[in-house]
Structure 1
Amino acid sequence: MIGEFKAFIARGNVLDLAVAVIIGVAFGAIVTSLTDDIIMPLIGAATGGIDFSSHFVVLGAIPADYTGSPTDYAALKKAGVALFGWGAFLTAVINFLIVAFVVFLLVRAANKAMPPAVVETVTPASEVLLAEIRDELRRRP
Structure 2
Amino acid sequence: MALFDEFKKFIARGNVLDLAVGVMLGAAFGKIVTSLTENVIMPVIGAIFGTIDFSRFYILLGSIPPELQSKATDYDALKTAGVPMIGYGMFITQVINFLIIGFVLFLLVRSVNKLVESAKKQEAEEAAAAPAAATVDPQLEALKEILEELRKGRGEA
Q: How many residues align?
A: 116
Paired position in structure 1 for 2:37 = 35
Q: Which residue of 1 aligns with 2:110?
A: 108
CA RMSD of aligned residues (A): 1.7
Name the counterpart of 2:74: 72
CA distance in 2, matches of 1:18, 1:68: 48
In structure 2, relative to structure 1, the CA distance for the partners of 1:26 and 1:67 (3 Å cut) is farther
> 1:106 corresponds to which letter in structure 2?
L
Does structure 2 conserve the Cα–Cα contact (< 8 Å) formed by 1:56 and 1:84? yes
1:48 to 47, 50, 59: 50
Task: Compute the displacement of 1:52 (Å).
Answer: 1.3
Does residue 9 of the first structure (1) align with residue 11 of the second (2)? yes
Encode CA deviations 1:71-103: one digit per residue, 9 max, x unaligned: 111221122111111111100100011011111
Unaligned segments of structure 2, at least 5 residues? 121-157
CA–CA distance in 2 between the matches of 1:98 and 1:38? Answer: 12
Q: Which residue of 2 aligns with 1:61?
A: 63
Cα deviation code 1:35-64 (max 9, x no counterpart): 011101111111122221111111112234
- 1:22 is aligned to 24
Does the CA contact (< 8 Å) of 1:68 and 1:75 recur in 2?
no
Is residue 58–residue 83 contact of structure 1 (8 Å, CA) maintained in 2? yes
Check whether the contact 1:52–1:87 (CA below 8 A) recurs between aligned residues.
yes
* Identity level (%): 59
Shift >3 Å, 4+ stretches? 63-68
User: Which ranges of structure 1 fall in alignment gaps of 5 or more residues?
Assistant: 117-141
> In 2 relative to 1, CA 22–67 (structure 1 residues): closer, same or farther, beyond 3 Å?
farther
TM-score, normalised by the number of residues in structure 1: 0.74
TM-score by length of 2: 0.67
> C-alpha separation between the residues in 2 aligned to 1:64 and 1:52?
26
Q: Which is richer in helix?
A: 2
Higher Cα radius of gyration: 2
